Amino acid sequence: MKINKVILLLLCIISLTNQSASTIDAEESLKTEISKEFNFLAPLILNPVKLAFDNNPSGSSSVLRGNGKVTINLPELKLICSTKDKKYHTDIIRIVIAHELGHYLQNIHQYDNSNTLQRECQADLISGFLIFQTTFQDMVNIGEKIQKRKQQADEQMAAELTKINDRILAVYGSVFDLGDEYSIQNDHPRGSERVTAIRTGIDYGNLYLASLIQSNEKFDLSYRKLNRDLLKIYKRNLGYLEGDNLISWSDRTARKIVHEDLKICRDIVVYNNFKWNTASNYPFLDYRQTITNIGNKRITISFFNQIYLKRKKDPENMLYWSLKNTDARTITLSSGESKTISSSIQWEATKTDIPSYLAFGFENSMYTCRTVSPAQAQKKTLKGDRFSIKREIPSEETILDILLSYRPGNLKDLIAGVGQLDEINGTRVEYPSLLKYPNSLGTSVVYLSDDKIYSIYIVLCNSDENTASKRLQTLIKTLANLGQKVNRSESRAKFDIYNITSPQNKLIGRIMLSRDDNGKVLLYLDIYD
């Protein structure tokens, strides 16, 4: 059975490539490799486009509107490739090209209806779709080779997929963990948002393939029916609307990933309560959400509650999540209004995969918050389109200096999404932070409604006493370098508390060591507004 090469899709399996990457140290060899991958990917966007090269050492791969070209910056690409073994270089080249082709499609179809972060996120979504299309022939070749042997075919295919998974992880680590986690003025999404975008773009590839198969008479009736059912699931789970195409769907989805409008999202707080119900052969997750508008404007929220299968061998959860079920909702809340939603989502587990619940308001959940209808949303001016290389992780002192500069009165500007209530009638609201603290377990903006104050809450480590003590001493020294004083205010068997005071002797934060019965020590830092 022949399948159109333009499709080149693979249902529910991901592989970036099975080709051996050639040596790319020499510039001509690199250009040859780029040209080969460009010639493979470019026809998939169904619009004429040319390839150009740039040797500017301070430049970046880019697309300029109207010149009909994708420009690949060679020094930048060499730098990205230098972070990984050469066997991953072809994969890296493909992703960079696919991202720029995403920008090229934007320039043709939809130039000015999203801001820079959303535009970069949309290019990542499109690149996921394009990369998905490059995998089909490789996997078909592997499958045919294995099936000829017949015996142990499943085991051999599993081994091949394991190799592919390892390569995907390596490429994600060097390319799509490029978001600037340590700056407020970044023009690319955070690393976790970029990974979410490429995974979701791959999901759209599954949707597209299912739509082709379900109407193709070359396939038998039962297989077409299976894909017709899968198509309904993908449309629901991906928020696909009738009449959508890749551009319209990716534009709307990008707004959910980077959370439009961020300032409005800060006025929404959520209390999530859920339970994994394992009582039946078809278990459900039962959830109850109370969503409140604490702002002074009427807000419409579009959001997902989702269950995915994630792979046990992927502890950092970077790989594609096999999406199982999604509860998509849109609600409108007046100022001060609350709504409670109670529902269930079915789930399952396998030997290799475990279910994961991604609730509205959790890190990496998808949603938008608007005070106006989408048709009324104002179009925004865009900057140029560039790929972005991985930035250096700043020092602890640099980030602390930035955080201290935001106080007093401006810590709320670091909020990166909707807030989570600690209990149904709680007074503590925890928000994700735009700024990530280096080498930490988590950075949040906390609002105490009783006291009407914000703080930055950073979990520095959860380790043994010796490691935590060393981290504490480093932190105290860093604060001293910034002119802040640290003094122990309380010491007990289970915890130590240190006060941080400004040069004007004003209390501006606290450090706490908290010990559990198993010898673990939790070290965290609070900086007050």
pLDDT at 382: 35
Rounded to whole angstroms, the Cα distance separating 298 from 268 reads: 11
Q: Which residue has the higher pLDDT, 125 or 223?
A: 125
Task: Please give the pLDDT value at position 206.
Answer: 82
pLDDT band at 152 (very low <50, low <70, confident <90, very high): low
Of 85-89, 193-197, 406-410, 441-445, highest mean pLDDT:
441-445
Highest mean pLDDT among 95-104, 163-172, 212-221: 95-104
pLDDT band for position 458 (cuts 50, 70, 90) = very high
Report the percent of the chain where pLDDT is more than 70. 77
Distance CA 431, CA 421 (A): 9
Q: What pLDDT sits at residue 292?
A: 95
Give the pLDDT of residue 315.
60
pLDDT the model gives residue 236: 84
Which is it for the CA torsion 469, 470, 474, 475, positive or negative? negative
Region 61-72 average pLDDT: 80
Per-residue pLDDT at 225 exceeds 50: yes
Query: DSSP characters for 90-158?
Result: HHHHHHHHHHHHHHHHHHHH-SSSS-HHHHHHHHHHHHHHHHHHTSHHHHHHHHHHHHHH-TTHHHHHH
DSSP 290-323: EEEE-SSS-EEEEEEEEEEEEETT-TT--SPPEE
Q: What is the pLDDT of residue 112?
A: 56
- Cα 323 to Cα 126, 236, 251, 319, 479, distances in angstroms: 18, 11, 20, 12, 44
**pLDDT at residue 13 greater than cutoff 50:** no
DSSP output for 415-438: B-S-EEESSTT-SEEEEEBSSPPT
Give the span between the Cα atoms of 327 and 2, in whole angstroms: 37
User: What does the alpha-carbon distance between residue 176 and residue 187 come to, in Å, rounded to a whole number?
Assistant: 14
Confidence of residue 386 (pLDDT cuts 50, 70, 90): very low
Q: Which amino acid is at 380?
A: K
How many Cβ atoms are within 10 Å of 263's Cβ, its own excluded?
Answer: 12
Measured CA to CA, the distance from residue 52 to residue 48 in angstroms comes to: 14
H helices present in 336-434, as ranges: 396-405
The pLDDT score that the predictor gives to residue 205 is: 85
Most confident by average pLDDT, 15-24, 46-55, 169-178: 46-55
Which residue's entry shows tokens 């409108």?
332
**pLDDT reported for residue 156:** 67
Question: In CATH, what class is 262-376?
Answer: mainly beta
pLDDT reading at 369 higher than 90:
yes
Over the chain, what is the mean pLDDT?
A: 80
Is residue 384 pLDDT above 70, yes or no?
no
Domain map (residue ranges) of the chain: 27-257, 262-376, 396-528
Cα 243 to the center of its chain, rounded Å:
26
Provide the 3-class DSSP secondary structure of residue 341: strand
The two most distant CA atoms of the chain are separated, in Å, by: 78
Burial category of 424 from C-beta neighbours within 10 Å (exposed 0-12, middle 13-18, buried 19 and up)? exposed
pTM attached to this predicted model: 0.77
Confidence of residue 336 (pLDDT cuts 50, 70, 90): very high
